[in-house]
Structure 1
C-alpha cells in the first residue's frame, strides 16, 4: 500500500491482488472527488469510496483493506498539506472528508466567517479545532445521532450567505 500514482494509473481490472485493486480505486476516487482540494482551489470535500472493480473477496475484507488505505493515505498526504478523515463505514465502503488546513485557516481569518462560526457554536479562532468539531458532527450524522451539519458548507467553499 502507498504506491500512489503508479497504482492510480493502472487499470483496477488488471490488478493482481485485492490490495492493488482497492488502492487503485481509492487513489482514483481521492483524485476525482477531492481534486479541487488537492490543487488548493477548495478548502474541503466530503465524498464516498465504494470499491467496485474487485469481484473477489468479501465485504469484511474490503472494509478492512479500505480502512488500511485510509490510514496509509491520511498519513502520507499530510506532508503535502492535505488531511483525510474517515467519517463512517458502510457495508461497501467509506465516507471521507478531505481538507487543506491552509485553506481552512483563511476561513477562520475572515471576520464574517468567524461571526457565522460563533453563531452556530463552532470554534472560530482555530482551524484545527474547527475541523475536529466538524468531523465529530459529521460522524454523529452518519451514525444517525444528529441532523446534517449544514454549517459544513462554509469549509466546503460555499459563501456564508448560502
Structure 2
C-alpha cells in the first residue's frame, strides 16, 4: 500500500499542482483501475487532511478501465461558476444554476455516467477561460490558436503566461515530492511556490 500511496502522491503532484498550490480551481486526473484498483480507499485516507487545506477529491467517473478524479478547491470553483457567462453555458447543458456546488458536481457525474457524448462543460469545472470553452464547443476542438493545458481560441498571450506559471508550479511540486516531502507538506508550501516561482 505504501508504494501505491507514493504513486498516488507522485501523480497528484504532477497533474494537480496548480490546484494544490491554490492557482486553479480544479484538475481532472485519470487513474488506471488495473494499476491502482484501491484508489477509493486511498482517497478516503487523504480526504480529511486535504479538506482541511481547502481541497476536495471526487471520483466523477469509474468506467471499466479508468477512474476520473476531480481534485478541486470548492471556494475557488464556486466563485468561477458564479460568473454570468459560465452560468449561461451551464444552463444550456441542463444544470440548475441555483443549485449548490455539490449538486452541480453530482450533475456532472451523472452526465459522465450517461455519456452519450463527452460533457464538454468539464472545461468550466476546470476553470478554463470562458472564451476558450466556447471556442472548443463551437469548433469541436479543431482550429485552436495554441494547445497546452487546454485548447486556446482567444487570448494566446494570456494563456501562454498561465501555461508558463503552471509549468513552474509543476516543477516546484515535483521537486518537493522527489525530495521526500508528502503531498500534504507540499500543499503547506504553496506560499513559497506562488511568491517565488509561479507568479
**Normalization by structure 1: what TM-score?**
0.69
Q: Is the 8 A contact 2:31 2:68 kept in 1?
A: yes
Unaligned runs of 5+ in 2: 134-199
Q: Select 1:114's aligned residue among 87, 102, 112.
A: 87
Change (3 A) 1:79 1:139: farther
> Counterparts of 1:6-45 in structure 2 under 5 Å?
19-45=1-27
Tell me, in whole angstroms, the C-alpha distance in 1 between the residues paired with 2:20 and 2:96: 24
**Could you tell me the TM-score, scaled by structure 2's length?**
0.57
Larger relative contact order, structure 1 or 2 (CA cutoff 8 Å, min sep 6):
2
Q: How far has the Cα of 1:104 moved from its partner?
A: 1.4
Q: Which 4+ stretches in 1 moved above 6 angstroms?
A: none
Equivalent in the alignment of 1:14: none
Partner of 1:100: 73
Aligned CA-pair RMSD: 2.3
* Cα distance change, pair 135–78 in 1 and its aligned pair in 2 (3 A): farther
Q: CA deviation at 1:66?
A: 2.6
Unaligned runs of 5+ residues in structure 1 are: 1-18, 52-58
